[in-house]
Chains A and B, each alone.
Chain A
Amino acid sequence: MTKKRIGMIFLASVFIFTFFAVPAWSKDVIKIGVIGPMNFLQGKGHWNGATMAAEELNAKGGILVGKKRMKVEIIKADSNEFLSITDATNAMERLLTRDKVDFVVGGFRSEAVLAMQDIAMDYKKIFIDCGAAHPELCLKVSKNYKRYKYFFRGTPFNSYYLAKTCFIHAGTVGAILRKALGLKKIMAAIVGEKAMWVDPMIGAAKKVLPKMGMEIVGIWRPSPVATDVTAELSAIQRSGAQFIFTIFSSSVGITFARQAGELKIPAVQVGINVEAQKDGFWEATQGNGNYVMTLNTYCRGVEYNELTRPFVEGYARRFGETPTYTADTYAAIKYGLAPTIEMAGTLDADKLVKVLEKRVYKVPSGKVKYMVDEKGRQTHDLTWGPGYLTSLGVQWQDGTQRGVWPYKWKPAEGVPEITYKGIVPYKIPPWVIAKYKK
């Protein structure tokens, strides 16, 4: 081999090494991958929230990393997780290998996030989940901290607390029905779509609702994509149910609400109905989704704290709709990652984890504090409760989504009542009142 050829090879190697091995702190931008089902509302929420956060941070010059200000660049990745978990994992791989992001936020389906989590952990990148509620995601952190410490739950709180909050809503509405209609015992139907995440909630509902003075008259499990539930509704009506505890995440939530409203089934609907959280629910049910109540994170006019209104109104102005909970990529980046990076003065993931897991900070939906388990181990899971994160109970009232919980909520004896700013009283459907009021 000639000297000239050796020299060329050496120069090429230096070039390749320089191009591909630039350390993070010598870059000018912080890359944040935003991964989600981008053809659906949930993914759009991920991206829109992240866009707002990046723009606000960059308007102030970026994030201070040590002595250097670095701009934020967000990179979109379509996980397609509603259709294919494999697509989700491929999208995560691309973010981490081809796009070489420093952090990842997003994810929606628990099945997809569980798979994406492992990939992010392989690359030791901080991944803030903004959609999946499965407790397993954070159990992994406590069981194998060394590997999973880069994972944090951004939103929502885990499904145990989702169920707990729903049951509080059920108890609240049950008490309202008893008082307003003079009912001694509430007959309750449980309707949950046939999906994995619903099974434990059905089991819990069977135990909790009777303790609230409700008698369970039946359990129905329609398909998540059922297009006709009139048979189920006929059966529910015949059972004499005055209260329907709903557990829906897919299109059956629209079908059920629409048909129940059109048939004027004399029972209130309370629980989880993900489709009812969206602005498009009213049109999707052709106005028949009136009085449907569901768990939600944001509602126009309701404020958890001083950060809520600027975020919700700013989002609505910019994107023409109320933010869903997946838009909490905004909080994850602006209030989670950015201050943590500035406090740590580095982009080194191990150092950032140590800072982030100890922080207690405000976000538009409350206050974030990461839990430790009963053995004192970090879980990176969100703390639920007054003063932290509680979410809202929202009800559709004449075409508008209104916050109806917490309304004079007393979490425990000796604790003052809680009512967030903008919360209004729950309304019983008139046809229910007409049927049962004594």
Chain B
Amino acid sequence: MILDIIVTGIISGSIYAVLAVGFSLIFGVARIVNIAHTAFYMVAAYGIYFGTQRLGWHPFWCMILTVALVTLIGLLCYKAIIDPIREHEAAVLIATIALAMAMQEVMLLIFSGSYLSVPSLLRGYFKVLGVKVFYQQLITFGVVLMILMGLWALLMKTRLGVAIRATADDREVANLMGINESRVAMITMGISVGLAAVAGAVVAPLSTLNPFMWMHPLIMMMAVVVLGGLGSIKGSFTGAYILGFAEALVVFLTPKGAFLKDAVALSIMILVLLIRPEGLFGIYFEEER
């Protein structure tokens, strides 16, 4: 059972990490709580379904195109809806909720409420220490590692990364230093939505598509980023795996209470908020500095 918990925890944690990193990034840089983050993930999943099942395209190329398209949609939404009200955090929160619900209704209109699925990039499973693992889950884990490395390289080794880190540290000073804070925020939004779309690409084959599929990952993702610390990418990864293991523990130790795994995750989030409000690796809000 220990091995089951470890393997399951790693896989679940990887899935949450993919979603949480993008969310954390845009909050850290632009202080945008993008509730529509998982809605973009949903749109990407439907895009992949449409391309592979309705148009018959190859899954790999379909994913590339879908990620690009969803990123573009995200940028347009940012420019049209979020950017004009960016200084008003409450308004941004409400606007992104509305955006998410609008995307849900559009998907409901186009695809109806029927449950759909996307084929795996690689069908079948293999055994890790006696535990069966889907190839698709391994791909997800691999993608997470690649994202981590790619993000690290972007943030640490490129001028853009320096600008993003500087803006995340202190917006005003970054502006004074000649960094176009607004442009950095937009680029970060693009990266964030792109990550959500990639999540849709690798997680969708493991999931069941329906217009309401963005809600459950949103809750888990919020729990992850709060646990890890809003704005902290390192925290998001750590929080994702903590909650992934917590879920696995609940399912294996209390089979009748398997449905409680989400409640356990949220309870951990509340506990962390009470003991350490900024999360495990959180950054303070500007007002508190």
In the complex, chain B residues whose CB is within 8 Å of the CB of A222: 258-259
Q: Name the one of A221, A228, A234, A280 contacting B114, with C-beta atoms under 8 angstroms.
A: A280
A225 lies within 8 A of chain B by Cβ: yes
The answer on a CB contact under 8 Å between B8 and A230 is yes
In the complex, chain A residues whose CB is within 8 Å of the CB of B137: 230
The answer on a CB contact under 8 Å between A283 and B262 is no
Q: Name the one of B112, B117, B134 contacting A284, with C-beta atoms under 8 angstroms.
A: B117
The answer on a CB contact under 8 Å between B255 and A255 is no
Chain A-chain B contacts (Cβ-Cβ < 8 Å), number? 109
In the complex, chain A residues whose CB is within 8 Å of the CB of B132: 230, 234, 237, 263
The bracket for how many chain B residues form the interface is 35 or more
Interface string of B1-26 (1 = CB under 8 A from A): 10010001001100100000000000
The answer on a CB contact under 8 Å between B125 and A285 is no
In the complex, chain A residues whose CB is within 8 Å of the CB of B115: 251, 254, 275, 280, 284
The answer on a CB contact under 8 Å between A284 and B259 is no
Interface string of B85-104 (1 = CB under 8 A from A): 00000000000000000000
The answer on a CB contact under 8 Å between B8 and A37 is no
B258 → A minimal CB distance (Å): 5
Q: Which of B253-274 contact A (CB under 8 A)?
A: 255-259, 261-262
The answer on a CB contact under 8 Å between B213 and A232 is no
B16 → A minimal CB distance (Å): 11
A39 lies within 8 A of chain B by Cβ: yes
In the complex, chain B residues whose CB is within 8 Å of the CB of A228: 12, 15, 206-207
On whether A231 and B8 interact (CB within 8 A), knowing A221-B257, A225-B216, A251-B210, the answer reads yes
On whether A235 and B112 interact (CB within 8 A), knowing A251-B208, A262-B134, A263-B125, the answer reads no
Q: Name the one of A39, A218, A227, A238 contacting B208, with C-beta atoms under 8 angstroms.
A: A227
Q: Closest residue to A225 on the B side, CB-wise?
A: B216
Q: Name the one of B11, B108, B124, B256 contacting A221, with C-beta atoms under 8 angstroms.
A: B256
List residues of chain B with CB under 8 Å of any chain A CB. Answer: 1, 4, 8, 11-12, 15, 53, 108, 112-117, 119-120, 123-125, 131-132, 134, 137, 206-208, 210, 212-213, 216, 247-248, 251-252, 255-259, 261-262
On whether A227 and B257 interact (CB within 8 A), knowing A232-B251, A258-B117, the answer reads no
Q: Which of A275-302 contact B (CB under 8 A)?
A: 275, 278, 280, 283-286
List residues of chain A with CB under 8 Å of any chain B CB. Answer: 37, 39-41, 44, 82, 193-194, 218-223, 225-228, 230-232, 234-235, 237-238, 251, 254-255, 258-259, 262-263, 275, 278, 280, 283-286
On whether A232 and B255 interact (CB within 8 A), knowing A227-B208, A238-B1, A262-B125, the answer reads yes
Q: Closest residue to B119 on the A side, CB-wise?
A: A286
21 chain-A/chain-B pairs, Cβ below 8 angstroms: A39-B112, A40-B113, A218-B255, A219-B256, A221-B256, A221-B257, A221-B258, A223-B259, A230-B8, A231-B258, A232-B255, A234-B4, A235-B1, A235-B4, A237-B132, A258-B208, A262-B123, A262-B124, A283-B116, A284-B116, A286-B117
B6 → A minimal CB distance (Å): 12
On whether A220 and B255 interact (CB within 8 A), knowing A228-B12, A230-B11, the answer reads yes
The answer on a CB contact under 8 Å between A286 and B120 is yes
